[in-house]
Copies of this chain bind each other. A is one copy, B any other.
Amino acid sequence: MEFSSKLLQNAVHEMSQLPGIGKRTALRLVLHLLKQPEERTEHLSNALVKLKSEVNFCKKCHNISDTELCEICASTKRDGTVVCVVEDIRDVMAIENTSQYNGLYHVLGGKISPMEGVGPQDLNITSLVQRVKEGTIKELIFALSSTMEGDTTNFYIYRQLEGTEVATSTIARGISVGDELEYADEVTLGRSILNRVPFESSIKAT
């Protein structure tokens, strides 16, 4: 792509570094900003720079937070004996949206992935083990995605917890509510039969 201006080229180049944004989309976004009042661009760049420089992570669960302890960790209404281990803060938001969980979280910040050069030391695992060893946590719920990386991470943490008395569980895998059986993939359908639940408890959940 040939640009008539270095400034434009540079802006498009930087924009296209974002995931899922190609050169064409970047050009469209940049030209849109050019047509808008100058404040638009300033607000956007200030918000990004400010977030990056002033961002704070909860010292307990590593969720993004403006305070030292995030709202969830600081709340007295939450059950401090259950901790849900998630990959990133989007998972916290997704689970919070269900209104079905009243425990705390632990945000790992990723999954162990040798292919992408992410090892256990890059994730918030040490602090999780530390939290468990303090003794108040009774159950850890692993809620990582069920990929090879997710399973590896779960297993690594599980091994680190040997010798402690914490119970571990993973979220249920099964057919989505409302899905047709015939279109479900075999692995999921197979697991949903193996891990079937008593009918009475399925009634209670709805």
Instruction: Please list the residues of chain A having a beta carbon within 8 angstroms of any beta carbon in chain B.
Output: 1-8, 10-11, 13-15, 17-21, 25, 27-34, 38, 40-56, 58, 63-66, 70-72, 88-90, 92-93, 96-97
4 nearest interchain CB pairs? A45-B45, A11-B51, A14-B47, A11-B47
Q: Judging by beta carbons under 8 Å apart, are A48 and B51 in contact?
A: no
A-B contact sample (14 more), CB < 8 A, given A4-B72, A5-B65, A11-B51: A4-B58, A4-B89, A5-B55, A5-B56, A5-B64, A7-B54, A7-B66, A15-B48, A17-B44, A27-B90, A33-B48, A33-B52, A38-B53, A41-B48
Kindly provide the distance from the CB of A46 to the nearest chain B CB, expressed in whole angstroms: 8
Task: Specify which chain B residues have a CB less than 8 angstroms from the CB of A19 in the assembled complex.
Answer: 28-29, 32
Q: Write the chain B residue with the least CB distance to A49.
A: B45
Kindly provide the distance from the CB of A53 to the nearest chain B CB, expressed in whole angstroms: 7
Q: Judging by beta carbons under 8 Å apart, are A48 and B66 in contact?
A: no
Q: With a 10 A CB-CB cut-off, give which of A18, A38, A55 has the most chain B CB atoms.
A: A18
Task: Specify which chain B residues have a CB less than 8 angstroms from the CB of A33 in the assembled complex.
Answer: 18, 48, 51-52
Q: Judging by beta carbons under 8 Å apart, are B64 and A8 in contact?
A: yes
Complex: how many Å from CA A148 to CA B33? 25
Task: Specify which chain B residues have a CB less than 8 angstroms from the CB of A42 in the assembled complex.
Answer: 49, 52
Task: Specify which chain B residues have a CB less than 8 angstroms from the CB of A45 in the assembled complex.
Answer: 44-46, 48-49
Q: Judging by beta carbons under 8 Å apart, are B55 and A44 in contact?
A: no
Task: Specify which chain B residues have a CB less than 8 angstroms from the CB of A46 in the assembled complex.
Answer: 45
